[in-house]
């Protein structure tokens, strides 16, 4: 084993040794050439730029960038304005989705009477197939049995984590909530949900969903979807998800309105309808006192 002094000498010699020759084939046959330090520096710079581009692309996608996925003025051209669930352009299930929430107080992303004793908070992803199952199969019962009579107030949190179209897609839902039509928009979306990250939720499909919501002002919705206000709300949802340790969707919390809420999604996501009703009834028995 070399001494410490000898080892240092070996390292110093290795550090000053020029790069080994690289074999290259040219017109005159095999010849040796030495790797150019300038070429190596340029190659390293190109690689660094490639990494930066990839990271920037991910950041833009996660922040709701990717404007190609957002609705443009041409996407709403020819669609009924305001939206109409009974028009030929309306998507499947639109009449039922609109009827489900008709007459229930809606303020932004909050559904239900302000005097409701129980609060239900629901984190969703617009591309999540499990969210789709809960929204289509279970939520209508919760709406009719607990929200419409005034027992529950539902707070919707459109989170995004499944992919780029989750981030852009939720902006259309939030924009619809600016006209107090977010719950109708979400229901039509889930009734017509495509395969996760297949590219189905582009600007045109978002516009088709909006046109299926009765009374929704499409030009205003399109402007809002591309505006800064929806991104502010999306950022607030992200902060709420982080605060509540949300790691998947749907995640549902239930408790007294304005009080401490309890996660009823553990040990799995998407509680059954029976588990949801049990949590609501338990909270109602306590919160009404």
Contact 176, 210 (CB under 8 A): yes
What tens digit of pLDDT does each residue of 180-229 get? 999 999 999 999 999 988 999 999 999 999 999 999 999 999 999 999 99
Residue 210: its pLDDT value, please? 98
Q: Token match 């419409």: residue?
A: 148
DSSP letters of 36-79? PHHHHHHHHHHHHHHHHHHHHHHHHHHTT--GGGS--HHHHTTS
Band of pLDDT at residue 235, cut at 50, 70 and 90: very high
Which segment of 21-35, 140-154, 161-175 scores lowest on mean pLDDT? 21-35
Could you tell me where the DSSP H helices lie in the chain? 4-16, 37-62, 73-76, 94-101, 129-137, 139-142, 164-177, 182-191, 203-211, 218-225, 228-243, 273-287
Left, alpha or beta for 26 (phi > 0: left; psi -120 to 50: alpha)? beta
Q: Considering only CA atoms, which of 188, 169, 214, 211 is closest in space to residue 76?
A: 211
Residue 266: its pLDDT value, please? 73
Give yes or no for residue 9 having a pLDDT over 80: no
Average pLDDT, integer, range 271-289: 92
Fold of the domain built from segment(s) 69-287: Glutaredoxin (3.40.30)
Left, alpha or beta for 165 (phi > 0: left; psi -120 to 50: alpha)? alpha
CA distance 156 to 223: 22
For residue 31, give the DSSP letter: E
Q: Considering only CA atoms, which of 244, 246, 231, 281 is closest in space to residue 64?
A: 231
Collapse the DSSP code of 110 into the 3-class scheme (helix H, G, I; strand E, B; otherwise coil) and give the result: strand
CA distance 199 to 205: 10
What tens digit of pLDDT does each residue of 95-123 get? 999 999 999 999 999 999 999 999 999 99
Q: Which helix (H) or strand (E) holds 226?
A: none
User: Residues, the chain, total?
Assistant: 289
Q: What is the largest CA-CA distance in the chain?
A: 94
Bridging pattern class, strands 152-158 and 118-124: parallel
Query: Measured at the alpha carbon of residue 176, what is the angle toward residues 175 and 180, in degrees to the nearest 5?
Result: 120
Q: 186: Cβ–Cβ under 8 A, 6 or more apart, which residues?
A: 124, 126, 135, 156, 158, 173
Residue 64: its pLDDT value, please? 36
Report the DSSP beta bridge partners of residue 256.
118
Q: Mean pLDDT score of the chain, rounded to an integer?
A: 82
Collapse the DSSP code of 24 into the 3-class scheme (helix H, G, I; strand E, B; otherwise coil) and give the result: strand
Q: Retrieve residue 265's tokens.
A: 């999604």
What tens digit of pLDDT does each residue of 28-50 get? 333 333 334 444 344 444 344 34
| Global pTM value | 0.76
What tens digit of pLDDT does each residue of 123-144 get? 999 999 999 999 999 999 999 9
Q: Retrieve residue 142's tokens.
A: 């919760």
Collapse the DSSP code of 258 into the 3-class scheme (helix H, G, I; strand E, B; otherwise coil) and give the result: coil
């Amino acid at each position: 084993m070399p001494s410490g002094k000898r080892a240092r000498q070996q390292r110093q010699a290795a550090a000053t040794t020029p790069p080994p020759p690289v074999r290259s084939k040219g017109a005159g046959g095999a010849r040796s050439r030495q790797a150019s330090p300038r070429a190596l520096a340029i190659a390293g710079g190109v690689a660094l730029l490639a990494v930066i581009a990839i990271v920037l692309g991910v950041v833009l996608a996660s922040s709701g960038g990717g404007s190609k996925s957002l609705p443009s003025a041409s996407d709403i051209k020819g669609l009924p304005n305001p939206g109409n669930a009974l028009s030929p352009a309306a998507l499947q299930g639109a009449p039922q989705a609109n009827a489900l929430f008709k007459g229930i107080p809606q303020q932004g992303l909050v559904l239900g009477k302000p005097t409701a004793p129980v609060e239900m908070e629901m984190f969703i992803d617009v591309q999540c197939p499990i969210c789709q199952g809960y929204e289509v199969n279970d939520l209508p019962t919760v709406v009719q049995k607990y929200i419409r009579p005034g027992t529950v107030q539902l707070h919707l949190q459109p989170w995004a984590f499944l992919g780029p179209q989750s981030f852009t897609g939720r902006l259309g839902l939030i924009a619809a909530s600016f006209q107090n039509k977010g719950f109708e928009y979400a229901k039509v979306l889930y009734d017509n949900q495509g395969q996760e990250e297949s590219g189905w939720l582009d600007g045109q499909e978002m516009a088709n969903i909006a046109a299926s919501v009765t009374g929704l002002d499409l030009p205003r919705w399109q402007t809002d979807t591309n505006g800064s206000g929806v991104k502010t709300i999306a950022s607030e949802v992200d902060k709420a998800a982080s605060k509540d340790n949300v790691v998947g969707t749907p995640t549902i919390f239930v408790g007294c309105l304005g009080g401490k809420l309890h996660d009823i999604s553990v040990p799995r996501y998407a509680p059954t309808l029976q588990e949801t009703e049990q949590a609501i009834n338990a909270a109602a028995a306590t919160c009404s006192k």
